[in-house]
Amino acid sequence: MEIIVYQDQSDLLIDESSVEDVVREVLSFKKIIHGEIIFHFVTKEHITDLHGQFFQDPTPTDCITFPIDDIASEQSPILGEIFICPKVGMEYCKKNPYSEITLYVIHGILHLLGFDDLNEKDRLEMRKAENEVLTHLSKKNLVILSPNLVNK
């Protein structure tokens, strides 16, 4: 499993190794062992542009996913790319934006694995899956962290 993390923003410092740890655990929990996943932590302007360009909604959002390969393939598919805006997470959850970013990472992965949230039934299934993963991660004491909080 290859996890690539790009930091194209400076609103919230994010430790890349904590992202990788969380992603590996989420994928293991969901029994996905092959593939590549790419994360982009981007500015509010960038996510707004993507949202407008690909979803005809030129407003800021928290997380956008672009699935690439079918997860059923074991030929090391690229699961997809996930764009996350930490600034939106900071605005939504001022108290602990890192827990919010962790939720966005989970949400994006679930989208790549086929979960959707366009209608009420799908939203309920997505929330249930998010809560299951969050519960699992909390038992493992895994969350996205600031580089300042990581033991080096």
Predicted confidence (pLDDT) per residue in 126-143, tens digit = 999 999 999 999 999 999
- How many other CB atoms are found less than 10 A from the CB of residue 19? 22
Lowest-confidence segment of 19-23, 53-57, 148-152 by average pLDDT: 148-152
pTM: 0.92
d(CA 119, CA 94): 28
- How many other CB atoms are found less than 10 A from the CB of residue 107? 21
Lowest-confidence segment of 41-45, 105-109, 116-120, 130-134 by average pLDDT: 116-120
Q: pLDDT tens for residues 87-103? A: 999 999 988 899 999 99
Q: 76, exposed or middle or buried, with CB in 10 Å at 0-12, 13-18, 19+?
A: exposed
Domains of the chain, residue spans: 2-145
Q: Residue 114 in contact with residue 126, Cβ under 8 Å? A: no
DSSP 141: T
Domain at 2-145, CATH class: alpha beta
For position 78, what pLDDT does the model report? 85
- pLDDT mean over 42-58: 97
